[in-house]
Amino acid sequence: MIPYGKHAVDSADVAAVVDVLENRFLTQGDTVPLFEKALCDYTGCQHAVAVNSATSGLHIACLALDVSSDDIVWTVPNSFVASANCARYCGASISFIDIDPITRNISIERLEQKLKSAVKTNKTPKALIVVHFSGLSCDMKQISELIKPYNIKLIEDAAHALGGTYLGQKVGSCAYSDMVVLSFHPVKSITSAEGGAVLTNDSELHRRLSLFSKHGVTKDPAAMSNVEGDWYYQQVELGYNYRLSDLHAALGFSQLKKLDAFVEHRVKLAEVYHDELAALPLALPTSISYSSSAWHLYMVEVQNHDRKVVFDALRERRIGVNVHYIPIHLQPYYRDLGFNIGDYPNAEAFYKNAITLPLFPTMTADEQRYVIDALYEVLN
């Protein structure tokens, strides 16, 4: 089976993990700070907090903004459920903005319309979480300019996008947002087995992110009411055990050194798909002038064919295609909150026809040729 995504771990990655096992602290040592600094150096942001998953990162990002049951958070339906769940963890209401059918990212037009309506009813959100779907950055400058007059905080869910760029800057720079959340799941740009990070240029947000990821506990004398000795600590927030271990950080740090090479290979694979699949009844992903994609996913939309028939035929040929994603608002939990079929037609139409093709850093030319030939066989 050729999978849709796959990690690429080499002997240097293994050696980095073994070094921690044999010579260093397994957790709360010096490897996590080293990884966090490397993320800052790569993206150009000022602060990073490594956590055990991007889901945890999204949660503490909301907590750092004091999102609560009195608030509304907006995001897109075309994502994994974590992009919305993080607001619900804080008790906030959630609402969605439909996607642009070309970029498959948040629709700027729909955002502008929703803002006008929210201002009239005095129901503007506390935060907007945008998702860089498949690795292509949203138009962050335009989004930031739209929401800034209303003091809406902006979080980038960049779980797909590490290694991509926007207006010549690395995704993660936080040039137009309050925070950026990354994922290091095995099929993402780099992996730490499981893990994530939150990036920010705001020192106060960084302080709060660190607290919420580590039980709400501090040993900083300036943050405590009293100090009894070197052993002393105080819990000053209700935090969580979301920290990343040094084992995971060692793998992530080693992987980060190869990120640009990984993305370069993904770009080449995407270019081959663009060229080879142009003659088939498929809607292919679009390139945008302001952004270079990290190509986490290569997704096509089947035209004039039944998606399930095509999906099953490719699986029968040992091609591990997938579908990303079932729109969040159609999940039973969110249906119970009042969302319905037809609420976000662009996201629903995309889901109906979407198939994710294999694309990963170790994918060979022969494997890609097999996928392309199978598509021609099935669609013709």
Q: What is the DSSP letter of 185?
A: -
- Are residues 273 and 372 both part of a single domain? yes
pLDDT in tens, 63-92: 999 999 999 999 999 999 999 999 999 999
- Are residues 332 and 197 both part of a single domain? no
| Mean pLDDT score, 192-216 | 98
- Are residues 156 and 84 both part of a single domain? yes
What's the CATH number where 187 sits? 3.40.640.10
Burial profile 126-157: b = 16 or more Cβ within 10 angstroms, e = fewer: bbbbbbbbbbbbbbbeebbebbeeeebbbbbb
What's the CATH number where 326 sits? 3.90.1150.10
Q: Report how far residue 37's alpha carbon sits from residue 111's, in angstroms, rounded to the nearest whole number.
A: 34
Cα–Cα separations (whole angstroms), residue 181 to 51, 87, 177, 224, 250 = 10, 14, 11, 29, 19
- In this prediction, residue 285 has a pLDDT band, given cuts at 50, 70 and 90, of very high
- H/E stretch holding 256 reads helix 246-256
- Are residues 351 and 202 both part of a single domain? no
Number of domains in the chain: 2
pTM: 0.97
- In this prediction, residue 208 has a pLDDT band, given cuts at 50, 70 and 90, of very high
pLDDT in tens, 119-162: 999 999 999 999 999 999 999 999 999 999 999 999 999 999 99
Q: Report how far residue 202's alpha carbon sits from residue 36's, in angstroms, rounded to the nearest whole number.
A: 15
- Are residues 27 and 138 both part of a single domain? yes
- In this prediction, residue 364 has a pLDDT band, given cuts at 50, 70 and 90, of very high
- Are residues 173 and 312 both part of a single domain? no
Of the three residues 224, 256, 288, the one that is the final residue of a domain is 256
Of the three residues 256, 290, 323, the one that is the final residue of a domain is 256
- Are residues 65 and 191 both part of a single domain? yes
- In this prediction, residue 289 has a pLDDT band, given cuts at 50, 70 and 90, of very high
CB contact at 8 A, 376 and 280: yes
Of the three residues 234, 256, 278, the one that is the final residue of a domain is 256
Q: What beta strand segments (E) does 220-283 contain?
A: 234-235, 282-283
- In this prediction, residue 51 has a pLDDT band, given cuts at 50, 70 and 90, of very high
CB contact at 8 A, 353 and 318: no
- Are residues 140 and 212 both part of a single domain? yes
pLDDT in tens, 226-238: 999 999 999 999 9
Give the range of the structural domain holding residue 50, as residue numbers without chain letter: 2-256
- Are residues 251 and 271 both part of a single domain? no
- Are residues 266 and 294 both part of a single domain? yes
Tell me what percent of the residues of the chain surpass a pLDDT of 70.
100
- Are residues 155 and 271 both part of a single domain? no
- Look up residue 145 and give its two tokens: 């300019």
φ and ψ at residue 312, rounded to 5 degrees: -65, -40
- In this prediction, residue 245 has a pLDDT band, given cuts at 50, 70 and 90, of very high
- Are residues 235 and 274 both part of a single domain? no
